[in-house]
Amino acid sequence: MRTPPFVTLLAVTLTALVGCVPNSITLQFDGRPTRIDERTVARDGASRDKVAQIDLTGVITATSTSPFGNAALLDDFSAMLGKAEQDPAVKAVLIHINSPGGSVAASETLAEMIETFKQRSKKPVVVSMGEVAASGGYYTAITADHIVAQPATITGSIGVIVPTINVSDGLSRLGITSRSVVSGPNKDIANPMQPANEDHMQLIQGIVDEFYLDFRTRVTSARPDIQNPDTTLDGRVVTGRTALELGLVDELGGIRDAHAAAKRLAGLNSAQLVKYYRGGPPPLTPYASASAQVPQTDQPGVLDAVLNWKDRLAMSGATDPGFYYLWLPPGALSID
């Protein structure tokens, strides 16, 4: 069998290159940039000192939210903190939060990252709240040395939610029944296809109470001057203006006010604000941001809407059922 000419040419080319290239080649097919870049978005003098801005946008999750590939939010955030830690010109970090929160585990991981960064680098961290910094977004914010909120920021929602739905009654009316074979009475906990079981709900409530106690303890430890904690920390959302009155934040203002606070904490008279980003066009201002696409569902009919409840949950940002430090805006889980 005759070897095609292009195969022969390829073999000869690779053989010729063996002596002048590394013995391994990495091919990246997803097109996602691997490098964290930075862009100066504000400057108040000629100083070479920097305040590094890292954006926390969207739902806090360990799964992919990037339009450039399959990296998770936590992966990018960790890489950006690492860059800020290793750059001696970076004297402080400014985290701009625009997030309704996210999963309990992902929120805890993010908070731990920031606390570890502070311990190792000794660099101050300031949070600037955008439109929303609620629940897990606030859980993240309290790791900072100073919190700046806009008057119209929606924040608070300190608590835990487990979105559930039960469709057993509706399905039974259609002649559809479900039965699981389980190894124990609690293995099939809160199965939406089975009639609601109060014992299961109590088990879930116990976990929710445990997570809430941890959340509340962290808040009261970080913010000891909170007014009326029994009501302030009952899950309600408040505006940034009210949050200042209640002791949930330190100051009202925007990113530039947070930049000024970061300089003050770092002992700087002037510093450039550099914004970290991965992929996409370079940001022109501190406010530039990319948001992930939110899944939508256009399935008609009540039954289709019920069976696509995960899509409905995803519309509020939560991609899977579970335990969340998450603010669900009114109507987020409604079925049209």
Residues acting as catalytic residues: 135, 187
Taking the CA atoms of residue 296, residue 300, residue 303 and residue 304 in that order, the dihedral angle to the nearest 10 degrees is -40
The count of other CB atoms within 10 Å of the CB of residue 175 is 6
C-alpha to C-alpha distance for 62 and 58, rounded to whole angstroms: 12
Q: Cβ neighbours of residue 321 under 8 Å, at least 6 residues apart? A: 162, 163, 164, 310, 313
**In 152-301, where does DSSP find H-type helix?**
168-173, 198-222, 229-232, 240-246, 255-266
Using CA atoms, how far residue 200 sits from 90, 188, 209, 211, 275, in Å, is: 50, 9, 14, 17, 46
Cβ atoms 85, 49 nearer than 8 A: no
